[in-house]
Amino acid sequence: MDAVEFNEKVMKGHFRKIYPEIARQVINRTGVITGRCIDLGGGPGMLGISIAKITMLRVTVVDLMQECVELVRQNSLEEGYGHRVDAMQGVAEELPFEDRSIDLVVSRGSIFFWENQQQGLAEVFRVLRPGGWAFIGGGFGTLELLREVEQLRANDPEWSRKRKERMTKNPPEHYRALLKRLGITGTVEHEEAGTWIIFSKPEEVKP
């Protein structure tokens, strides 16, 4: 499946309902509604666009594939958010942003494919401003939405097998160990509907 087909059949099709719900959960949890946001490994950008719709954040979708960068621009224009959602090529391990410049980093589903998850999380922490938040992992928003997606993908047993394989290789304990190694205080929340790494960069102590 190429990027265009993935955009139409999956992001705008089977997964269409999960992005607004995840966006709502992210904003309710972090309270970040202004400033700059990165949707890391965001593909065609549906999570980033969903976040833009309910906040005043300026969102940059970062993805490895140029085809996805172009689809983000197309999708954001179609949704009427081209003025606040842009895109660029990049990888988690080397984010093209200055230190302490980002208010919110979100990522759904990409961490499983990062070449170096520890380096990627270190980069996320680096670019967060003091008081900024990260909400990274994979999930479907709610158990009900997961069941709906499972029904839609019932004819694709390979999808279910690969999802279970990713979960087995990336248990919550694995992510907790990464945070500990990096000295990042955060939580790893796991339930059937998804696993999320959530942390905030501490505010700097002022003299």
Residue 204 clears pLDDT 80, i.e. is over it: no
Q: What pLDDT, in 10s, does the model give residues 141-200? A: 999 999 988 888 877 778 788 888 888 899 999 999 999 999 999 999 999 999 999 999
Q: Is the dihedral of CA 176, 118, 197, 200 positive or negative?
A: positive
Q: What pLDDT, in 10s, does the model give residues 72-85? A: 999 999 999 999 99
Kindly report the number of other CB atoms within 10 A of residue 109's CB atom: 18
Amino acid identity, residue 90?
G
- Class of domain 3-200 (CATH, top level): alpha beta
What's the pLDDT at 110? 95
Phi, psi of 127 (to 5 degrees): -80, -15
User: Which helix (H) or strand (E) segment is 120 a member of?
Assistant: helix 117-127
User: How would you classify the pairing of strands 102-108 and 128-139?
Assistant: parallel
Strand, coil or helix: 114: coil
Residue ranges of alpha helices (H) inside 15-105 are: 18-30, 46-54, 66-78
What's the pLDDT at 150? 85
Phi, psi of 97 (to 5 degrees): -135, 155
What's the pLDDT at 1? 53
- The four Cα atoms 39, 60, 33, 119 give a dihedral, to 10 degrees, of 50
Amino acid identity, residue 111?
I
Residue 106 clears pLDDT 60, i.e. is over it: yes
Residue 207: pLDDT band (50, 70, 90) is very low
What's the pLDDT at 206? 44
The one-character DSSP state at 80 is T
Q: What pLDDT, in 10s, does the model give residues 107-137? A: 999 999 999 999 999 999 999 999 999 999 9
Average the pLDDT over each of 1-5, 13-17, 184-188, 199-203 and give the range with the smallest value.
Answer: 1-5
What's the pLDDT at 154? 73
What's the pLDDT at 163? 83
User: Can you list the pairs that 97-102 forms with residues at least 24 positions away whose Cβ atoms lie under 8 Å?
Assistant: 97/38, 97/127, 98/127, 99/126, 99/127, 100/126, 100/127, 100/128, 100/129, 100/130, 100/132, 100/201, 101/36, 101/127, 101/129, 102/35, 102/36, 102/37, 102/38, 102/127, 102/128, 102/129, 102/132
Q: What pLDDT, in 10s, does the model give residues 19-58? A: 999 999 999 999 999 999 999 999 999 999 999 999 999 9
Q: Where are the domains of the chain?
A: 3-200
User: How would you classify the pairing of strands 128-139 and 194-200?
Assistant: antiparallel
Residue 11 clears pLDDT 80, i.e. is over it: no
Residue 14 clears pLDDT 60, i.e. is over it: yes
What's the pLDDT at 166? 87
Q: Does pTM surpass 0.75?
A: yes
